[in-house]
Amino acid sequence: MRQAVLLLTAFLFLTGCGTVQKAFESLPEDAQEAVMGAVQSWSGSRWSLQDPIDEFFAAVDARDAEAVRAMFSPNAQAAGETLDQDIQALFDLYPGPTDECVMTSPVGASKHVGWRENATTVHNTFPVVCQGVNYYCAFSYTTKDEADEGNVGVNSVLFMTEKVQANEEFRNSLERGDGLTVAADCPGDYETRRIGDRAYIFTPMDRSLSADELTVFLQTDSNWAAFLDRFGQPNAESWPSSYYFELTPENGQPRYAHILTNTENGVKQVYSVYLYDNHNNQPVEIIWKQGPESFEQN
C-alpha cells in the first residue's frame, strides 16, 4: 500500500501540482527520497528538455532568427502568425549571452508529462540568467506525435522578466498558444527576488534575522501570531500558508527561511522552517520542524 501511495505521489509530482508539492513536503524524509527516486527513474533522458533548451538559447545568443524559428514545430510555425516579430522582441529584451539556462529542479520535479494517444509533450519553467539578471522561460516541447508529426518540436515558449514571473495573476492572464510569447513588463510597482529557483514579489524589511533566532523562539512558542509579533511580517508569500523571511547572508550569499504553517484547533502555528538560497530548487537544510503527526495546510 505504501508503495502504491509513493508511486501515485511521484506521478502527480511530475505534473508540478502545487497541492501535491505541499503534500510531498509533509512526507517523512525516507518517503521523499523514494518519491524522488521514482521521479528520477521515470523521467530520465527520454523526458529531458535540456538539449533543446541549450540549442534554443545558443540560437538566441547568436541572434540567428532562422535557427530559432526552425526549432518550433511545423504546426507552431504555421500557427504563429507573429513569430518573426516575436523572435525580434526576444532579441530586443534579452541581450545575451546566456550565463545559465539549466533546469534547476530535480529531473521531472517541475516537468509535465502528457500522453495524447501516441504523443508525448514535456514542459518546464526555469530561470535564465544573463549578465546577472534573472529571466524565466516556460518551454514546451513535443518529442513524438505519430498521429501528426507536424507537432514535433518546440510548441510554445513564454519568455518573461522576473517581474512578470513573480506576478502570478498577470502571468496566468497572458494569452499564449503555439509559438513565442515575450512578456517584458506588467502592471504594478514592486520589487522581486529570486528565492530558490522561483521569483516572488518581495517587500524589503529593515531587520537583521538569523536562523538561530528563529530556532530559539520556536523551541518555546510556535504560534504564528506570536511569531509575527516577534519577527515582523514576511518578505514574500507563495500561498496563504507559505512564507519567506530574508536572513542575514552567509559568506556573502543570500539566505531565506521558508516557513510553512498549519492550523490546529483553529490556531495557526508554524509547522516547519527550511533554509533556501537564491539558486537551488530544494532547501539547503531543515532549520526547524514540528512532529509529523499532522500537516493540515491552512
Question: 135-171: per-residue pLDDT in tens?
Answer: 999 999 988 888 889 999 999 999 999 999 999 999 9
Q: How far is CA 169 from the centre of its chain?
A: 15
Band (pLDDT 50/70/90 cuts) for residue 113 is low
pLDDT at 298: 35
> Of 228, 258, 261, nearest to 246 (Cα)?
258
Q: What is the mean pLDDT of the chain?
A: 83
pLDDT at 112: 44
Residue with cell 516537468: 111
pLDDT at 42: 43
Band (pLDDT 50/70/90 cuts) for residue 281 is confident
Question: 250-270: per-residue pLDDT in tens?
Answer: 999 999 999 999 998 899 999
For residue 79, the SS3 value is helix
Alpha-carbon span 107 to 16, nearest angstrom = 12
Band (pLDDT 50/70/90 cuts) for residue 187 is very high
Question: 62-82: per-residue pLDDT in tens?
Answer: 999 999 999 999 999 998 889
pLDDT at 240: 83
Residue bearing the bigger pLDDT, 165 or 104: 165
10-19, 76-85, 172-181, 269-278 — which is least confidently predicted?
Answer: 10-19
Alpha-carbon span 233 to 205, nearest angstrom = 8
Residue with cell 513588463: 185
Q: Is the pLDDT of residue 32 over 70?
A: no
What's the rounded mean pLDDT across residues 164-184?
91
pLDDT at 60: 98
Alpha-carbon span 255 to 276, nearest angstrom = 6
For residue 144, the SS3 value is strand
Alpha-carbon span 193 to 22, nearest angstrom = 21
Residue with cell 538566441: 60
> Of 174, 173, 238, 222, nearest to 21 (Cα)?
238
pTM for this entry? 0.78
Q: Let me know: does 87 contact 81? Beta carbons within 8 Å.
A: no
Q: Is the pLDDT of residue 41 over 80?
A: no
